[in-house]
Structure 1
């Protein structure tokens, strides 16, 4: 049975949460969602690229960008779920510096992929006569981009920052 976790309205609301509560939320709210979102986005992108190849605004190469991002994200999320998140939930922020550095680097790569999506889709610009599939693709892409951006923000600005501060306190204490 799924655990129901409270939706907090801002990153600031999460600053008081425990690392365990925040990591559980991230896995449930973002990791699981990305695992559902990306295969569907890839399917829709392939369909739009196939049907509309040659049209001016056709997002040629979008499915390939999404597949690359899916592979990067799956590897990234597994590392978090199996290594980093258990460390943080167990108060091992000081020992987590190395893994956090790797995750921050990978977050930069994810942001680069989002920029590539913006380029390929011309910032999700639909042609006036876009079919339903193309409209669905861009609507779902917009949701995915917002989810991934919030996901990265929560990790970088709340979870990892809290772990780094705890680690510094332990070293100076």
Structure 2
């Protein structure tokens, strides 16, 4: 019997079943920055039938085999930080620089006929700068404080940590807004019928970047940071 109901928060569903993020992404239901609302409310916002959405989640739940690795929300704080760094931070540090020449070429070659690509280039540059400085700040300053807090939870360490967490959540909002605009102006990352290989490659990789970043934000906002606040 599923424990999920129409009143279960979207973020809690993704914490329990990370693969549910794919269902919500396809339905354009926000599960990271705006995920702390009941499933029914989230579905209604998108003018979707809440019962149908809930059934999709329950079907996914029954399909998934129990696996610790597939449920990072069950990891301890040190394990979760290691997971975020090895899966998400490493991906961003490799993928963002690698994508840059392709995005630049696409805007240069096709920008005259498709002016939205000039905006894609601007948004990507802003997102790249934001995410790379964000992950560096986390690794250098914030995660060591989180680990210290996990070992010795108390008001003194929390007071040092709280401003960092608040700032990171604001940066997550900004990154989410940039990704949402990218999705809108690219028509859900769907290239034109006559698009060249570079065109298709960039849109495909932008979609993968969105997927990874939203999962990354969810793990921090709705798992790691929530645990910190609950421990005080």
TM-score, normalised relative to structure 2: 0.64
What is the number of residues matched between the two proteins? 158
1:7 aligns to what? Answer: none
Which whole-Å CA distance do the structure 2 matches of 1:114 and 1:36 have between them?
Answer: 18
Structure 1 residues 101 and 47: alpha-carbon distance in aligned structure 2, compared to 1, 3 A threshold:
same
1:57–1:126 contact (8 Å) kept in structure 2? no
- The residue correspondences of 1:47-62 to structure 2 (distance < 5 A) are 47-56=105-114, 59-62=117-120
2:165 aligns to what? Answer: 100
2:224 aligns to what? Answer: 159
CA shift at 1:25, angstroms?
0.8
CA shift at 1:125, angstroms?
2.3
Which whole-Å CA distance do the structure 2 matches of 1:41 and 1:63 have between them?
Answer: 11
2:15 aligns to what? Answer: 11
Matched, 1:34 2:98: no
Matched, 1:45 2:45: no
Which whole-Å CA distance do the structure 1 matches of 2:132 and 2:165 have between them?
Answer: 17
Q: Residues 136-166 of structure 1, C-alpha deviation per residue, up to 9 Å, x if partnerless?
A: 1111111110000000011011010111111
CA shift at 1:32, angstroms?
1.1
Q: Residues 97-129 of structure 1, C-alpha deviation per residue, up to 9 Å, x if partnerless?
A: 211111001100101110221233232121101
- Unmatched tracts of structure 1, length 5 or more: 1-9, 168-173
Q: Residues 57-96 of structure 1, C-alpha deviation per residue, up to 9 Å, x if partnerless?
A: 7522212211111111121111111111111122257232
CA-based RMSD: 1.7
1:67 aligns to what? Answer: 125
TM-score, normalised relative to structure 1: 0.84
Greater than 4 Å deviation, 4+ residue runs: none
Structure 1 residues 117 and 64: alpha-carbon distance in aligned structure 2, compared to 1, 3 A threshold:
same
Q: 1:128 aligns with which of 169, 172, 193?
A: 193
- Unmatched tracts of structure 2, length 5 or more: 1-13, 17-70
